[in-house]
Amino acid sequence: MDLSSFQSQTAQRLRAEGRAEGRAANILLLLDHRGGELSDEERERVMGCSDFDTLDLWFRRAVTASSAAGVFDGQEG
């Protein structure tokens, strides 16, 4: 019997956490590369977020935002 499609709740949670951490790291990398300065609090906000939809929104904003504020509130800095 093939059990490869079986996914425990623990495995699903760990996979989701890994995706969120990876997306958060990508947001920080993108902002650092674009020259955006983030405060320690802003970095903690990104790394502490586990909601992938929010992280995805922030990532899309980070592509064009001129400041960290633009990432979090959707306003161009």
Chain-wide mean pLDDT for the chain? 82
- Find which of 9-13, 25-29, 32-36, 67-71 is predicted with most confidence, using mean pLDDT: 25-29
Nearest to 23 by CA among 1, 55, 54: 55
Residue span of the structural domain in which 47 resides: 37-77
Q: pTM score > 0.95 for this model?
A: no
Question: How would you class 26 by CB atoms within 10 Å of its CB: exposed for 0-12, middle for 13-18, buried for 19 or more?
Answer: middle
* Domains of the chain: total: 1
Domain annotation covers residue 44: yes
Q: What angle do CA 74, 63, 51 make, to 5 degrees?
A: 65
Determine, yes or no, domain membership for 41.
yes
User: pLDDT tens across 7-27, in order?
Assistant: 687 777 767 677 788 899 999
Dihedral angle computed from the Cα positions of residues 18, 21, 25 and 26, in that order, rounded to the nearest 10 degrees: 60
Q: What is the pLDDT of residue 77?
A: 41
Q: Is residue 49 part of a domain?
A: yes
* Residue 4 in tokens: 């490869």
Cα–Cα–Cα angle for 63, 61, 33, nearest 5°?
35
